[in-house]
């Protein structure tokens, strides 16, 4: 059972009419970059709780979450109505194993995300560990429209600070917005993703972390398996580590 704390809303930033970042303050237990917690609200007399990944680094005093308001979504609809100064419940303890200490060191780190699932990667990229553990880091963010490419200021700051970071935005439902326009599994299957950033990935030099839409996670994992990569498990380390959002 979660131990619930009351968090105060510090800010809500809307990126477009569906995507928003929720910034709250609460005295939660320490967490690791890549983990998620539960947010909850009372809806029709019942507590409704869902998982949300941290965007902020574990050192930050403010807790940030990147959300989509899905049509008919029970909790996200309520969270989207929050205003500065309102309260929301948060689980005291974070959870999850989508963290860098679960992933072997390698020359290349490929962070593959769709939609709001860029969040846990932004948390990892704001920590020192990732820059020491991997020489080349590729942040891939696949979205439908240009306006879904959130967090540009933070991503550009990270690229300035860390020349080893390559950012690959992919817009699939508008023409010619980004150089790459196909879904992640197709880009891996054709080899285009690798040639685009001029990196040659092999089972010996690359790690892949995949987060987001379950279809993308499944299809991307399958494409990588076809190329000889395997799931990373504690007892048998491989190169593929995944987190699905639903
Ligand atoms: C480990 C984990 C971490 C998560 N982190 C985040 C996060 O950082 N940000 C976030 O917005 N959501 C995240 N989610 C999803 C989140 O927990 C909820 O499922 C989502 O907010 C919808 O809840 P709801 O009650 O509003 O909708 P529900 O009534 O429960 O409807 C759920 C449906 O909404 C769709 N959906 C759910 N999440 C998403 C999404 N992120 N993008 C597109 N469609 C979605 C799916 O079709 C799903 O079947 C995470 C889920 C998991 C398991």
Give the pLDDT score at 180.
Answer: 98
Give the atom of ligand 1 at the shortest distance from the alpha carbon of 76: 26
CA of residue 24 relative to chain centroid, distance: 18
- Kindly state whether residues 82 and 120 are assigned to the same domain: no
Give the pLDDT score at 2.
Answer: 84
Atom 53, ligand 1: residue with shortest CA distance: 245
Bridge partner residues of 47 (DSSP): 42
Asked whether 29 and 94 are in contact (CB, 8 A), the reply is yes
Give the pLDDT score at 140.
Answer: 98
pLDDT of 116 > 90? The answer is yes
Q: What is the mean pLDDT of residues 108-115?
A: 98
- Kindly state whether residues 111 and 176 are assigned to the same domain: yes
Domain with 50, as residue range(s), is 4-91
Atom 21, ligand 1: residue with shortest CA distance: 76
Q: What is the mean pLDDT of residues 63-85?
A: 97
Give the pLDDT score at 184.
Answer: 98
Which of 56, 73, 81 for a ligand 1 pocket mutation test, highest count of atoms within 8 Å of Cβ? 73
Which of 39, 63, 76 for a ligand 1 pocket mutation test, highest count of atoms within 8 Å of Cβ? 76
Backbone angles phi, psi at 218, to 5 degrees: -65, -50
Q: What mean pLDDT, rounded, does the chain reach?
A: 98
151 φ/ψ sector (left φ>0, alpha ψ -120 to 50, else beta)? left
CA-to-CA distance for 98 and 1, rounded, in angstroms? Answer: 21
- Kindly state whether residues 39 and 81 are assigned to the same domain: yes
pLDDT of 1 > 90? The answer is no
Q: What is the mean pLDDT of residues 60-81?
A: 97
Q: Is 245 in the pocket of ligand 1 (CB under 6 A)?
A: yes
Q: What is the mean pLDDT of residues 110-115?
A: 98
Atom 37, ligand 1: residue with shortest CA distance: 246
- Kindly state whether residues 118 and 240 are assigned to the same domain: yes
- Kindly state whether residues 110 and 65 are assigned to the same domain: no
The enclosing domain of 80 has a CATH number of 2.40.30.10
Q: Is 121 in the pocket of ligand 1 (CB under 6 A)?
A: no
Q: What is the mean pLDDT of residues 93-106?
A: 98
Give the pLDDT score at 23.
Answer: 98
pTM for the model stands at 0.98
């Amino acid at each position: 059972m979660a131990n619930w704390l009351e968090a105060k809303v510090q800010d809500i930033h809307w990126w477009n009419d569906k995507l928003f970042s929720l910034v709250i303050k609460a005295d939660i237990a320490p967490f690791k970059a890549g983990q998620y917690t539960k947010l909850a609200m009372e809806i029709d007399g019942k507590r409704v709780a869902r998982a949300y990944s941290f965007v902020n680094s574990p050192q930050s005093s403010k807790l940030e979450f990147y959300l989509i308001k899905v049509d008919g979504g029970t909790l996200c609809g309520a969270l989207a109505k929050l205003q500065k100064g309102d309260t929301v419940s948060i689980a005291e303890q974070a959870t999850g194993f989508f963290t860098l200490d679960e992933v072997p060191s390698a020359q290349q780190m490929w962070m593959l995300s769709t939609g709001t699932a860029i969040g846990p990667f932004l948390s990892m990229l704001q920590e020192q560990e990732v820059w020491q553990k991997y020489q080349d880091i590729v942040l891939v963010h696949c979205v439908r429209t240009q306006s879904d490419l959130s967090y540009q200021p933070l991503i550009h700051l990270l690229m300035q600070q860390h020349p080893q970071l390559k950012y690959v935005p992919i817009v699939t439902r508008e023409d010619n917005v980004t150089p790459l326009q196909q879904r992640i599994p197709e880009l891996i299957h054709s080899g285009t993703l690798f040639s685009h950033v001029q990196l040659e990935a092999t089972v010996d030099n690359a790690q892949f972390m995949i987060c987001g839409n379950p279809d993308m996670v499944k299809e991307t994992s399958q494409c990588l398996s076809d190329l000889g990569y395997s799931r990373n498990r504690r007892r048998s380390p491989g190169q593929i580590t995944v987190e699905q959002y639903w």
